Structure formats: C-alpha cells, structure tokens
A and B are shown apart, each in its own frame.
Chain A
Amino acid sequence: MKIAVCIKQVPGTVDIKIDPETNTLIRQGMENIINPFDTYAVEEGVRIKERLDADEGFMEQSEVIAMTMGPPQAEEMLKEAVASGVDRVVLLSDRAFAGADTWATSVTLAMAIDKLEDVRLVIFGKQTLDGDTGQVGPELAQRMNIPFIGYVSEIMEISARKIKVKRLAEDRYEIFEVRLPAAISVIKDINTPRVPSLRGKMKARSAEVPVWTADDLGADKDELGLSGSYTQVVKIFTPKMVHDVSMIEGTPEEQVEELFKNLKSLNIVS
C-alpha cells in the first residue's frame, strides 16, 4: 500500500515577540524544525507500513512517502523523515508555490499525490505551528473527493480496502470506518515517535530528495501560490498585552481570602 505523509517545515519557536520600541520582531532560537504535529503523522505512516508488511495476508510491500511543499531548505526536514523510517520523499519547491493559503497548498499537494499514483492513504498532522489552521487536510480530501477523518487517536484496523479509526470529537471519541483511498489527520495521542536509529540516520544521509516544480506537476500557475489563494494576509501585528499581574501577598489564609474576594467580584462564587 502506498501511504503519503504531508509534513511541513516551520519556524522552530512560537516565542516571537515584538520589540515595543523598534516595532520589530524578536525571535529566539529561530531555526526551522518539522512541524511537531507532523512527527506523529510520519510515525503513524511508518507504523502502518510495518503492520501491513508483517501481515501474511498482505502481499504487496507498503511504501511510505513523505512530502512537503516549501523552500529548498525543507530538504533537511525530509531527510530527517527518512531517518525516522519513511521510504522516500518528495520536495515540492517552486517560486510559484510561495504565498499559498491552505487552499492553494492543498491543490499543490493533491497534484503531487496524483503524480505519485495509487496513494491509498494520506496522513496529515493536526495543524501547523505557523499556519495553525488544520484546513489543508480536509481541503485536499475534498478536492480529491476522498473521505477525511480529523483528530485520529488510533488506527483500529486497516486493510487493502478499508480503514477503521477512533477519533477525538468535541466531547467523545467516535469510531469510523471508511473505504480507501482516504485521508486522516492525527493527534499527539496516537503514538510516540521513535528516535531515529543509526541505520536510519545513515540512510538519511544518502537519501535523494527529488524536487518537483510547478511544471513537473503540470500545474496552471494561476492555481498556485498567492495567485491561487482565496485568502490574503493584509496585516500582521502583536496582540496588545496590557497586562498587570496583581500578586496576592500575605499568609496563606490572607491569600485565600483575597482570592475568594476576587472570585466573588467576578461572580464565580457567591
């Protein structure tokens, strides 16, 4: 079975602040990392492959392909995915992809999945650190006209035709079965990503990272990047943190009494 895992490289910190004096961003330790949620997607892809390869009834060897749409430096992250056990990777990189919103991203990824041919399962992370939308998965699934199940916490069964999963809904878990091909997004609960083995790291070092451009996808450039996006960022700013912490001092009894009074004035207790 062919399994595609969509991963993204993101700025490695959410600790971004704006310097109030110069009005510029202060970034700390700003190196790029794999989107943390996507590590669970990679691990789950590899686990499914291992499971299917160990299954006597499953003749065909499975293959896990990690792909990303991003700038050339995303190659590093793809190599890490190889170290974590994926079989091969694809980097979708072209100036024409830049500025993509979730829709244009899902269009590009969908074209790449079509090009891979016969992908039966697409795995996403729950959301990215920078985009933070969780929309790419469902939009891609809709475009490919395949089912999408979000927030999956367990793959209960998978066969050549079907997948049965448990997913976290608002206030309960739901168990769904859908036919393949299908797409899912996974949450942290689903697994603990492995630490890359020495062999994996060796493999990563020599791994090839093919780069696909808009032309390779046969894409119409109007569908891609900022041109293909329906949404556009018009302003970026930091939230005003008008913030005064009031420290409640005194003996524990005084502290509790004061806290109680505050809760009372907030109408939380009577």
Chain B
Amino acid sequence: MEIKVNESTCTGCSLCKGACLYDAIEIEDGIAVISEACVFCGACVDSCKDESIEIIGLDTEEKDFSDYRGVWVYLEAHGNELADVGLELLSEGRKLADKLKVPLAGIAIGSGIEENSRVAFQYGMDKLYIVDDPVFENNIDDIFSKALVQLISKHKPEIFLAGATSFGRTLVPKVAAILRTGLTADCTGLAIDDDKKILLQTRPTFGGNILATIITRNARPQMATVRPHVMEKKATVADIGDISDKVIKVEIDPKNFKTKYKMLGTETEKGEKINITDYEVIVSGGRGLGSGEKFELLKELADTLSGVVGASRAAVDSGWISYPHQVGQTGKTVNPKIYIACGISGAIQHLAGMQTSDIIIAINKDPNAPIFKVANYGIVGDLFEIIPMLIKRIKDGKPLV
C-alpha cells in the first residue's frame, strides 16, 4: 500500500500540506512530497483540487455480506435497570433500520432484567434477545463479550451499536476483536450511505476539533460505540401490545460463562453522584471558586436543577473536588443539555470535554475568557454574587427586577 502524488498534475499549491494533521507533507521543487509520518488518513486526498493524490494498493475487493442483516443495539443494564443510552440507540437504530428496510433488535444481558427490558419495545424495537442468568449479575466484560459473540455469530446483524460508556468501551472492543471486525469508538453521528448501504460512522477526534467519518470495510458487523446523550431517545410506540413472540430468551449453560475476573468489591463516594455523564444539567466550577468549600454553592445550584457538579482540572488538582468530576481532555467528555461553567477560563483541554453540550452558560469575571467563545449565554460577573442570587430566584420564584 502506498500514497502517491501525481507529479504531472500536482501544482505545489500546498493545500494538502495545510490539510495534513500529521505534518507529513512538504512542498519540494513545486511538488508535494509525503513523508513516513503519513498515516493514510486521506485528509490530503480530499483536500486536493486536482485529484493528484491517491492511496493505492488497498484491497478494494468487495466481499459479499448479504447474509448479514438487521440492526442490533446492546441494551446496557446497571443492576436490573436499562441504561438510557441503549434506548437512545434504539431510536437512532430505528432510523437506520428503516433506511435499510431491515429489522431492529435489542439485546440485553444481566440477572433479573427481563421485566425491565420490555420497556425498550416503546423505542421501536422489533425483537428482543435476552440473556438472563445470575452469572451475569455484575457487568464483567469477558463473559458478556462471550455471550454477545455467540449471538452475533449466530444471527449475523449487519450493524451493532452500543453505548460508549466505560463498560461499553472495554466490552465492545473485545467483541470486535473476537469477531475480527472493525469498531468505531465514541461516535456522535451515524448515517447510511445511499448507494452502498453501508454505515457511515462520524466521530470527533483531536479533542472535538476535527470530525472523521469512518467505514468498516471487509468485515461485518459494522460496529460502533456511541456517546451517551448524543442521540435523542424517543418513545414512539405507546402500546407495545402482545410481545410474547418478539422476546427471545436465550438459554445458556452457566458452566460456560465463568469469568476470569474476581470482583472483590465496589466503592461509591459517600453520597456523591460521580457519574456526571448521566445528568442533563452540569454545574462546573474552576479555579475561580477559590476553595473546596465553595463547591457547596455549586452543589446547591446543581441540586436545584436536578443536575450534578463538574469541575476543571485546576479545581481537581487543587484537591477541591474528586477526579470523577473532572471534565475535559484528561477527564470526562460530557454532553449535557445545559453546562454551566463557573469560574472556568475555558482552556482548550477543558473545552474538549464539554463543547458539544447543547447549551453552554458561562459565568466569569473576565470578559476575555475563552469560555465565552463556546458559550451560548455569557455573564460577565462575580460568580459569588450571581449564583446565590440565581438559586434564590429559582427557589423563591420572585422576579428580581
């Protein structure tokens, strides 16, 4: 495999050099020269106005995947409750399945989850595969991947989607590795290519500054993990009717599902909500808060809005709040409906974790703080004045002016 510049048509215009993310192109004697740093991402191929760059030697033989059919969604459960992300993916999966004119199935694995899984039929699912056994009491990926692999190998869906949760992001790579197929992580957009009927998987990279569309070639199913909260969860079926012949209970022999992992215990931070990606409202604090005690103020606002508290790295590194609350490049990537940034300057590494939030509200006393560049609503002011007043306004319900 090789990347080639057609020297007779290359004008040395350097568009490709500008498009290269890996600094792998130099213009030498009026011609683009591509170095070993190239990773074949194809950005230059797209950028070239004269179609002078070509990646060759890639096996383009089209395999026949006609025996793969249908869209599957993994319905992740915590305890015996389905996580929202699975329902969001059913809503999205329905659209993909309709476009392909194929059925949509959900698959749930756990212990005592059957009852709670039925709700998924409200999201347009045609069929539910359920693996319900005490061996699946805890989300442990080696046995879950085994169960998924068995079902996928047997039923051959063309598309398999799962939430990009911390469980999904270790489970699904294992499944893909066993099945020998591709996996696109942390997608924010899915679509079907009209001609080829294949899945176009779009995901942010470089901290959200670049989007890449990825396809799965030469293998099936096409697998993707999708960020929680990105797809809209929509119950479209009010009355699910009689579903008895749509629920397929998969019988397994527990002896074949012995995990190699010994779970010795779990710890939750006392009274703290740490899974900040679960909430629709995040009230985040940064160095501007000045101390750990001041986070109580944010907690109060978050509670008032049924949300959760997040933080910048500066606040976490100062020991004001624990790491699971950190948003950003080295923390969590969040997508809430509302992100309220208080006393956060908006460093690029912080923005990387929150700029896809639906609505961003920034409160900062510095009018030039970069956070205002990504905010929808900005308030230049002292957070210690604004936030208590806002809490009071919400609680008392009395107009201030």
List residues of chain A with CB under 8 Å of any chain B CB. 11, 13-17, 19, 22-27, 30, 36-37, 71-73, 95, 98-103, 106, 129-135, 137-139, 141-143, 147-151, 153, 164, 166, 168-179, 187-189, 225-227, 229-239, 241, 243-248, 251-257, 259-260, 262-263, 266, 268-269
From known contacts A24-B47, A170-B165, infer whether A245 and B338 are also in contact, taking CB-CB under 8 Å: no
Bound CA span A225–B1, Å: 9
Task: Report B226 CB to chain A, min CB distance, Å.
Answer: 13
A234 smallest CB distance to B (angstroms): 5
- Closest B residue to A143 using CB positions: B177
When distances are taken between beta carbons in the complex, the residues of chain B under 8 Å from A102 are: 173, 183, 185
Q: Which A residues lie within 8 Å of B277 (CB)? A: 170
Q: Which residue of B lies closest to A239 (CB)?
A: B211
User: Are B47's CB and A23's CB within 8 A?
Assistant: yes
| Shortest beta-carbon distance from A226 to chain B in Å | 5
Assess whether B274 is interfacial by the CB under 8 Å rule.
yes
The answer on a CB contact under 8 Å between B21 and A230 is no
Partner of B323, one of A11, A148, A188: A188
Measured between beta carbons, the chain A residues less than 8 angstroms from B43 are 236
Q: Is the CB of A14 within 8 A of B206?
A: yes
**Nearest residue in B to A189 (C-beta to C-beta)?**
B323
Contact B261 A147 (CB under 8 A): yes
Give the distance to chain A from B73, nearest Cβ to Cβ, in Å.
18
Q: B218, A230: Cβ atoms under 8 Å?
A: yes
Task: Return the 4 tightest CB-CB contacts between A and B, nearest first.
Answer: A24-B18, A230-B182, A99-B40, A14-B207
Interface centre among A17, A230, A269 (most CB of B within 10 A): A230
B378 touches A168 (CB 8 A): no
A151 to B330, CA, bound (A): 12
Given contacts A133-B185, A174-B263, contact A99 B142 (CB under 8 A): no
Q: Which residues of B contact A262 (CB under 8 A)?
A: 361, 377
Contact A246 B266 (CB under 8 A): no
List, in ascending order, chain B residues with CB within 8 A of A100's CB: 39
* Contact in complex: A178, B260 (CB < 8 Å): yes
Main secondary structure of the interface of B (DSSP, over half): mixed
For the complex formed, measure the closest distance between the CB of A268 and the CB atoms of chain B, giving whole angstroms.
Answer: 6
- Give chain A residues whose Cβ lies under 8 Å from the Cβ of B173: 102, 134-135, 137-139, 142
Q: Is B373 an interface residue (CB 8 A)?
A: yes
Q: How far is the CB of B61 from chain A (nearest CB, A)?
A: 12
Please state if A246 and B377 are interface contacts (CB–CB under 8 Å): yes
- Given the interface contacts A139-B173, A139-B177, does A239 sit within 8 Å of B208 by beta carbon? yes
B316-369 contacts to A, CB under 8 A, are: 323-324, 326, 329-331, 337-338, 348-349, 352, 359, 361
Chain B residues with CB under 8 Å of A168's CB are 166, 323-324
For residue B238, CB closer than 8 A to chain A, the reply is no
* Nearest CB in chain A: distance from B349 CB, A: 7
State A236–B18 Cα separation when bound (angstroms).
13
Contacts of B142 in A (CB 8 A): 147
Query: A19 to B209, alpha carbons, bound, how many Å?
Result: 12
* Interface presence of B216 (CB below 8 A): yes
Query: Which positions 217-245 of chain B face chain A at CB distance < 8 Å?
Result: 217-219
* B167:A169 contact, CB within 8 angstroms: yes
Contact check, A257 vs B46: say whether CB atoms are below 8 A apart.
Answer: no
Q: Is the CB of B180 within 8 A of A230?
A: yes
Q: List 10 A-B pairs, Cβ < 8 Å.
A: A142-B173, A169-B139, A169-B167, A171-B268, A227-B1, A227-B57, A238-B209, A247-B378, A252-B385, A266-B337
Q: Would you call B250 an interface residue if the criterion is a C-beta within 8 Å of the partner chain's C-beta atoms? A: no
**A268 B185 Cβ-Cβ under 8 A:** no
Q: Are B40 and A170 in contact (CB under 8 A)?
A: no
Question: B148-185 toward A: CB 8 Å interface, digit per residue (1/0)?
Answer: 00000000000000000111011001101110111111
- Chain A residues closer than 8 Å to B204, beta-carbon distance: 132, 239
Q: Min CB distance, B135 to chain A, in Å?
A: 16
Once the chains are docked, how many angstroms separate the CA of A186 from the CA of B178? 23
Q: Are B214 and A256 in contact (CB under 8 A)?
A: no
Given the complex, which residues of A lie within 8 Å of B41, measured CB to CB? Answer: 99, 233, 236
Selecting from B104-112, B116-124, B125-133, B389-397, the interface stretch reads B389-397
Number of B residues near A (Cβ < 8 Å) is 114
B248 located at the interface, meaning its Cβ lies under 8 Å from any Cβ of chain A in the complex: no
Taking CB atoms, residues of chain B closer than 8 Å to A25 are 18-21
| Contacting pair A101 B182 (CB below 8 A) | yes
Residue of B214, B263, B372 contacting most chain A CB atoms (<10 Å): B214
Contacts of A238 in B (CB 8 A): 209-211
- Asked if B381 CB lies within 8 Å of chain A CBs, one says yes
Other A-B pairs, 16, CB within 8 Å; known A24-B17, A150-B166, A245-B372? A14-B329, A24-B47, A98-B36, A99-B39, A131-B205, A135-B169, A138-B174, A147-B260, A149-B261, A172-B268, A234-B214, A238-B210, A252-B381, A252-B389, A259-B386, A266-B337
B394 touches A260 (CB 8 A): yes
Residues of B within 8 A of A259 (CB): 361, 377, 379, 386, 390
Q: Which of B213, B375, B377, B393 gathers most chain A CB within 10 Å?
A: B377
Q: Are A246 and B376 in contact (CB under 8 A)?
A: yes
Q: Which chain B residues border A246 with CB–CB below 8 Å?
A: 376-378
A260 to B393, CA, bound (A): 8
For the complex, is B380 an interface residue (Cβ under 8 Å from A)? yes
In angstroms, Cα B55 to Cα A149, docked, is 37
B246 nearest CB across to chain A (Å) = 29
Q: Do the beta carbons of B214 and A172 come within 8 Å of each other? A: no
Contact between A22 and B381 (Cβ–Cβ < 8 Å)?
no
Quote the shortest CB–CB distance from A253 to chain B (angstroms). 4
Distance, CA A129 to CA B181, complexed state (A)? 23
Cα distance A141–B389 in the bound complex, in angstroms: 52
A226 and B40 in contact (CB under 8 A), knowing A17-B209, A252-B381?
Answer: yes
Q: Which of A174, A233, A237, A239 has the most CB of B within 10 A?
A: A233
A98 x B216 contact (CB < 8 A): no
